[in-house]
Each structure stands twice: as C-alpha cells, then as structure tokens.
Chains A and B, each alone.
Chain A
Amino acid sequence: MPSANGSDKEIQPMTRSIIGGAAAFSNSTYFYSALSVSMLFLIWIGTTQWLAVVSTKLLPSPVSLFNEFLVISRSGYAGTTLLGNILASFFRMVLGFTLSAAVAIPVGIAMGMSGKVRGFLAPIFNGLRPVPSIGLIPLMVLWFGIGQTSKVAVIFLASFLFVVLNTAEGVRSVPVGLMRAAANLGAGRVQMFWRVVLPASLPAIFTGLKTGLAVSWAVVVAAELLGAQRGLGFMIEDAATFYRIKVVYIGLILIGLIGIAMTAAINALERRIVHWVGKS
C-alpha cells in the first residue's frame, strides 16, 4: 500500500521485519524457508539413496516416490483417480466447513451481542472445547453411519467452536469509540450492526475461519481413515494395509501441500478483505 505524504508515524522496514507477522515476510525470511526445505530434501535423499542407511521399506527415496506418483496419477488408486481422491476429501471439507461457518458466524454474533445468548450457550461450548473432534468420530458414525453425513458432521463440529468463539469475541470487543462515533453521526441500531459491528468484527471472524479451515482439513483425513471408499485419508489407510508405503507417503505429502495452498489462499483473501488490520 502506498503511504501518504507526510505520514508522521511511518514504520521503518527494519522495525517492521522485527515486529511484523506474516504480513511483513522479508526476502531473508523467504531465504531461510527455502533453506529449511532444501535441507530436509537433502537429508532425505542422502539417507535413502546416497548412503542408503534408512530402509526404503520405511522411507522410500524421493525418486522412487516420484515414479510411484506418476504411476498412480495415471492409473489411480483403488478404482479412483488420484485427482478423484483429492477432490473427494476436498469437497467433504468444503461442505462441512461451509455449513459450519454458515451456522457459527450468526450464532457467534448473537453471543457477542447478547449476554443472555452468551450465558445460555457458554456452558455447552465450554464443555465441548476440551473434547478433541477426532474423539467424536465413533459417535458420529453411530449416529449417521459410515457414509458422507458422519464425515461432514465431524468436520462441522471440528471447526464450529473456533469460528463461534472468535466471532463472539470480535463482536464483543468492537471499540466503544467507533460505536459512539457512529451513534453520534446518526446511525440507528440496524445501521450500527451492518456498518460498524460487522466490519469491525471481520478480523476476528477471519481468525476463527482460518483456524477452522486448518482443523477441518486435518479432520477430514482422520474421518476417512475410519471407513471411506475414496479420499486421501482412505488412500493412506488402504495403502498402509497393503504395504504400499510409497502411496502412504504420497498421500501425506499431498495433504501437507494442499494444506499449505489453502492457508495461502485464505491469507491472501484476508489481506484483501481486512486490509486495515495491523496498520495504524
């Protein structure tokens, strides 16, 4: 963003790289990221291929993994193409996460605005908070069977609390100064909500959505481990049963890479929508 002429509180780049978060990724930060990735790769090649000190039954070499990747991207896995497996997991996650956010955001707003709603729901949510969502999988299977519904339900629950609690906190902590300024300028209750409370809460809502998304992706894989006909979690579980260790690794790496891509995408969206955050 260009800064105004005569800005009296400009942060110098040096300070920014010290105090700044992801928004202030400098070139040297990228350098060290590249360094860690290449080191990991070198150790991997070194131990499996050059020195051969690690059994390729436990950790296949990068080259053999890549060859296997070419094979399954051509012929698929267990009757489903590789892309089909990826998309199966992805759409489960999108479905569960979207439904979850669609319910959690309004509920969070209601909690943030009303002490009664907050008091009513707090014990339920506080009780659910320490329960790991993966622990709910068997219960969801009992309730909804092993089909799509139980998996979507697990994803729904996994991200729900993060979005609800962050949204509620965001709504509660809208600066009084902004509300007073708006009231003074003639905003009524409805205007106050749409033009002040909601935009002021967006940063916190985004924080909840980001965590919820990451958790959803982790949980979809876990849910697929317990019975599914397709999906990355299914692929890993099935391949492990048949000692196709390379496929297991391919599945894990794909999950990691897709996770990184999703985080990057939602971070980019966040920077676009709540562009004012962290600047003052």
Chain B
Amino acid sequence: MAYLEISGVDKVFGTDGKPGQKVLALEGINFAVEQGEIYALLGPSGCGKSTILEIVAGFERPTRGTVLFDGARITGPEPERAMVFQQPNLFPWLTVIDNVMFGPRVQGQSDMRAAAKRAGHLLEICGLGGFEKRYPYQLSGGMRQRVAIVRVLMNNPRVLLMDEPFGALDALTRLTMQELLLAIWGELKPTIIFVTHDVDEALFLADRVGVMSRRPGRMKREVGVEIGRPRDVDVMITPKFTALKSMLIHELRNEAQATDGAPQDHTKILTG
C-alpha cells in the first residue's frame, strides 16, 4: 500500500445544507504518492487542484471515496500534513520569528529552546537571517512565502502540501524558490504534493506529474519525470525535459480549449 492513497474521490460543493448551486469539483480521483516522492498536480484553473489538497490536509471531506495516509483515514488538519497556501497567510500581528514559533507554542512543545534554535537554523537556510524581528508587511512576497515554508517545517511535517506557493512571485524569484525547495527536500526528504499550472515548475520539481482535466476534475494522465537528482536549472534545456514539456503543454492546451470553447484553428477565423 502506498504512503498516501487517494481512491475514488468525488467532491461536490454545496451539499452541506447551505443554499446555492451544487458544484461537482472532483470526480473519481485516484492517485498514490510514495514516501519521499515529489508529486506535481498539473491542471487548468478551477479543475479542483486546491480541493484535492484541502481534502488531504483535512480541511474538506471527500463526498465519496477514501484518502488513506500511512494506512489511516484522514479526519482533520494535523501538523504532520503541512499546507503551504498560495497566499503566505502569515499572521500580520506577529513578527517573523513569532510566526515561525507559532506551531511549537500552540502545541506546547516542551523544549522551546530547541525549537528556537531550529527556527534560527531554518530561517538562516532560507535567507531570512536578520529578519526575525520584522513584520510580514516589511517583507517582499518571496520572503513572506519563505517564512510560511519555515513555519510549517518547524513541525517536522511528513507531507508538504503546496498549493501554487510560488504562483504570485516574479519569474526570477520563483526559480530561486524552486531551487530552495529542492534543497530543503534534499535535506529533509518530506513527501510533497505540489500543485501548479506551470509546466516548467512541475517538471523541474517532481518525480511524477499528474495531469488533471478541466472541471469536474479527473486524473487524465500520469507522467514519470525520469530526470536525475540533484537537479539544477540546466535540466530545463535538456531534450528529455523539452520533450516532456511539449507533451504536457499539448495536454493542457486541449483542456483549455475545451474550457473556453475556443476554436481549434485560429487561422480559420482570419481567413474564413
């Protein structure tokens, strides 16, 4: 049995008694992630990627199907399944160090001195040394997201659930963050589900990429990324990478066209 197993999961929103239309967000989702693996979920916007992470994190329940983590059903949020959101969601009234120490404090960890030491170490690794006393509003977008990552790493998570965490960053910062994430993974080897709609990002980070269809989200295809580690930016120009990229872009393009109802051939409009 796999480490994290999602079997036959449907998710219908609007069934919890609240008024409003029912939305079938996910249909028959099946995939499994091995321990220490980086699994990328790739799909068009609105296809249910975030919903999958919310279910694995324990914020949402699947309408049908099961999610097993290390053999047990998921019943709610736990620090061992750590979520990194698209927005950093830092507490704006707390300094960087107090945000990072939030987990150990609310859990009443006994050895606060060790936690503080680990916080200093992780902040240093992530290029945040010297920023401990700053408030989130005094940091750049990339720095905020790094604080959010350090904050969950403090809890020694076994699974990292990352929901387009670098989506709001500029291209250069995004690349630095991807390299940082790979470095962290190299050291701590957490299992990662990484949601993105960026093909380069998925291929650069992941061992496998799951491609999803437009809503209702289904698993359309799974692609193994047989590129060795450690990886650096140079892998992005290897023939293997570009071949995979071309294939995934076509997969996504079909989905996007189906979503927008766009014509298959744009030239027809111009000539016809």
In the complex formed, the residue of A with least CB distance to B92 is A276
Please, what's the 1-or-0 string for B147-158, where 1 marks a CB less than 8 Å from any CB in chain A?
010011001000
> What distance in Å separates the Cβ of B208 from its nearest Cβ neighbour in chain A?
25
Is A4 touching B83 in the complex (CB atoms < 8 A)?
no
> Is B119 part of the binding interface, using a Cβ–Cβ cutoff of 8 Å?
no
> Is A36 part of the binding interface, using a Cβ–Cβ cutoff of 8 Å?
no
Q: In the assembly, what is the distance between CA of A9 and CA of B173, in Å?
A: 13
In the complex formed, the residue of A with least CB distance to B91 is A178
Is B137 touching A184 in the complex (CB atoms < 8 A)?
no
- Interface stretch, picked from B31-39, B40-48, B102-110, B247-255, is B102-110
> What distance in Å separates the Cβ of B177 from its nearest Cβ neighbour in chain A?
13
Q: In the assembly, what is the distance between CA of A191 and CA of B131, in Å?
A: 26
Please, what's the 1-or-0 string for B130-154, where 1 marks a CB less than 8 Å from any CB in chain A?
0100111111111100001001100
> What distance in Å separates the Cβ of A262 from its nearest Cβ neighbour in chain B?
25
Is B138 touching A3 in the complex (CB atoms < 8 A)?
yes
In the complex formed, the residue of B with least CB distance to A191 is B106
In the complex formed, the residue of B with least CB distance to A195 is B106
> What distance in Å separates the Cβ of A44 from its nearest Cβ neighbour in chain B?
44
Is B135 touching A276 in the complex (CB atoms < 8 A)?
yes
Chain B binding site: helix, strand, loop or mixed by DSSP? Answer: loop
Chain A binding site: helix, strand, loop or mixed by DSSP? Answer: loop
Total chain A interface residues with beta-carbon distance under 8 A: 31
Is A180 touching B89 in the complex (CB atoms < 8 A)?
yes
> Is B57 part of the binding interface, using a Cβ–Cβ cutoff of 8 Å?
yes
In the complex formed, the residue of A with least CB distance to B148 is A181
Is A184 touching B106 in the complex (CB atoms < 8 A)?
no
Q: Give the B-binding residues of A (Cβ under 8 A).
A: 1-4, 6-9, 175, 177-178, 180-188, 191, 195-196, 199-200, 202, 274-276, 279-280
A-B contact pairs, 28 of them (CB 8 A): A1-B135, A1-B137, A4-B138, A6-B143, A7-B139, A8-B140, A8-B142, A9-B140, A175-B89, A177-B87, A177-B89, A178-B89, A180-B77, A180-B83, A180-B89, A181-B91, A181-B148, A184-B77, A184-B82, A184-B152, A185-B103, A188-B106, A199-B91, A275-B135, A276-B135, A276-B137, A279-B135, A280-B92
